[in-house]
A and B are shown apart, each in its own frame.
Chain A
Amino acid sequence: EAQVTQNPRYLITVTGKKLTVTCSQNMNHEYMSWYRQDPGLGLRQIYYSMNVEVTDKGDVPEGYKVSRKEKRNFPLILESPSPNQTSLYFCASSFVAASTDTQYFGPGTRLTVL
C-alpha cells in the first residue's frame, strides 16, 4: 500500500532532550516536507526537500533540522526541544515538486515538550 509513515505517533519529552521524528514514503517520491499544525495557526511548513541531499527552509524552520540521505526517508530532528515546539507534526511527499502534483500526508506525530 502506498503510504507515508511517521514514527513515533505520540511523544512526550522534556526540554532539551534531543529527539528525531522519522518519516518514510514507499512511493519513490522526490519531494518531501514537514509541517506543524497548531490551533488557530493552521498548518505551516517547516522544511522541505526537492530530492536527495537537497533541503531548504520553509516558513518556520527555527529549532529544527532535517536530512535527506535517502529518497524514501526525511527525518525531522529537534536538537534541543522547547515547550513552544509542542505541536502536531505532519510529513508529506509528492512525486515531484510541481504545483499540480498531489501531496500525500502521513498520519501525524503529536509531540509534547514539558
Chain B
Amino acid sequence: DAKTTQPNSMESNEEEPVHLPCNHSTISGTDYIHWYRQLPSQGPEYVIHGLTSNVNNRMASLAIAEDRKSSTLILHRATLRDAAVYYCILRDGSGAGSYQLTFGKGTKLSVIP
C-alpha cells in the first residue's frame, strides 16, 4: 500500500490558518487522498478527500500538488476545538481491497489560545 509521511506535531495560534502537510511520493493513479482527525477521547472523524483537484468543504480545504506526491490540509482559522491528531490516508480507488482506512501516526495539532 502507498504510504504517507506527516510531521509528528505542529502548533498553531488560535484564529490563524494552519497548513498540515502530507507526503505520498508512491501514490498510484487510483489512490484517493483522505484526511481524518481524532479529537481527544473520541473516534476518528472524516475531514475531506480528493483525487486530483483542490477541494473545499465547510471544515477545511485540501490542496493537492500537481504531481500528486504531496498534499496540504488547510484549516482557515484554527479554533481550540481543532486540536486533534490529523491523519492523511490513501485509499485505493481501483475496486480491490477491503476498503479499510490504513491509519499512520498522524500529526498532532496543538492550538494555542
List residues of chain A with CB under 8 Å of any chain B CB. 4, 31, 33, 35, 42-45, 48, 56, 58-59, 90, 92, 94, 97-108
Give the tally of cross-chain contacts (CB within 8 A). 59
Contact: A105 with B99, CB < 8 Å? no
Q: Would B43 and A90 count as touching, CB distance under 8 A?
A: yes
List 8 tightest A-B contacts by C-beta distance, closest first.
A105-B43, A99-B91, A43-B103, A45-B100, A102-B46, A99-B93, A97-B99, A42-B103
Q: Find out whether the CB atom of A103 lies under 8 angstroms from the CB atom of B42.
A: no
Question: B94's closest neighbor in chain A, by CB?
Answer: A99
The complex places the Cα of A59 from the Cα of B45 at a distance, in Å, of 21
Alpha-carbon distance between A92 and B93 when the two chains are bound, in angstroms: 19
Bound CA–CA A103/B49 (angstroms): 12
CB contacts (< 8 Å) of A56 on chain B: these are 98
Contacts of B104 in A (CB 8 A): 42
With known contacts A42-B103, A42-B105, A43-B103, A48–B98 Cβ distance under 8 A? yes
Residue in A31, A33, A48, A99 whose beta carbon sits within 8 Å of that of B92 in the complex: A99
